[in-house]
Amino acid sequence: MTHSDTALDHHDRTEFQLERLILFTDAVFAIAITLLIIEIKVPELHEAQAEGEMLRALLHLMPKFVGFFVAFFVIAIYWVAHHRTFRFVYQYDNKLIWLNIFFLLSIVLMPFTSAFQGEYPLLKTPWILYCVSVIFTGLMQFRLQAYIRNPANGITPAHHARHPDLESFRPLLTAAVFLLSIGLMLAGFTWAARFILVGIFPLMVLYGRRYRRLMAAHAAQNPQGKATH
């Protein structure tokens, strides 16, 4: 008995292949974000009931916890960005796949660079290496969005290419803050270089206002349901 309608007979399986690409990406993000906490070990005490020793051990872990929370939310921001971007992807090609792979390379580097700077919080090199890894991620996200929104690549329909969620400016915000942090670290402002990262959140709030204006303008230009929310 012959079945002509099988998976092997389907030459155009774009939707299935895109789903594989997205599931693989989500798995990499999930592993990377889990590895962040694995790097923080439970303190080993000589006396199980020694409260003072326990508090000192937890205090010693504070730089690692700060690094964990920063890295956790940085990875979360880029997962949300990837999720937001890839909902506009209708087609794919080898270049898109490899751009996505290099983007994921930057993500899997973060658990190491985050643990490295958490282990040596008073040294410049670990912090600069961590900042460079985050900047690399921002640049790869920028490159991904630029490739997706370019109508010549045929990845998304032309009316989606102008959507505010594909604007190339947003991925550079976080990267710019980390670049500023490197400058402060090299200038000797160690603690300022670390606390400047708090500036990411007000920048996101300010960008939110710009985003709402862009969405309103996009909706006005696409009144017949072409705006994607």
- Does the structure show a pLDDT above 70 at 34? yes
Tally of domains in the chain? 1
Contacts of 202 (CB under 8 A, 6+ apart): none
To the nearest whole number, what is the mean pLDDT of the chain? 84
Is residue 81 assigned to a domain? yes
Is residue 126 assigned to a domain? yes
DSSP-assigned letters across all residues of 149-217: H-GGGTSS-HHHHT-GGG-SSTHHHHHHHHHHHHHHHHTT-HHHHHHGGGGHHHHHHHHHHHHHHHHHH
Is residue 154 assigned to a domain? yes
pLDDT digits (tens, 9 = 90+) for 157-203: 887 878 888 887 788 888 999 999 999 999 989 889 988 888 888 88
The mean pLDDT of 94-106, rounded to a whole number, is 95
The mean pLDDT of 125-139, rounded to a whole number, is 94
CA atoms lying within 13 Å on the CB side of residue 205: 4
Is residue 7 assigned to a domain? no
The mean pLDDT of 45-70, rounded to a whole number, is 76
Is residue 228 assigned to a domain? no
Is residue 2 assigned to a domain? no
Is residue 173 assigned to a domain? yes
The mean pLDDT of 28-36, rounded to a whole number, is 93
- Does the structure show a pLDDT above 50 at 7? no
| Cβ atoms of residues 85 and 142 within 8 Å | no
Is residue 109 assigned to a domain? yes
What pTM value is reported for the model?
A: 0.81
Question: What's the rounded Cα separation, in Å, for the pair 89 and 80?
Answer: 15
Which residues constitute the domain of residue 166? 13-221
- Does the structure show a pLDDT above 90 at 102? yes
Residue 227: its pLDDT value, please?
A: 45
pLDDT digits (tens, 9 = 90+) for 79-95: 999 998 998 898 889 99
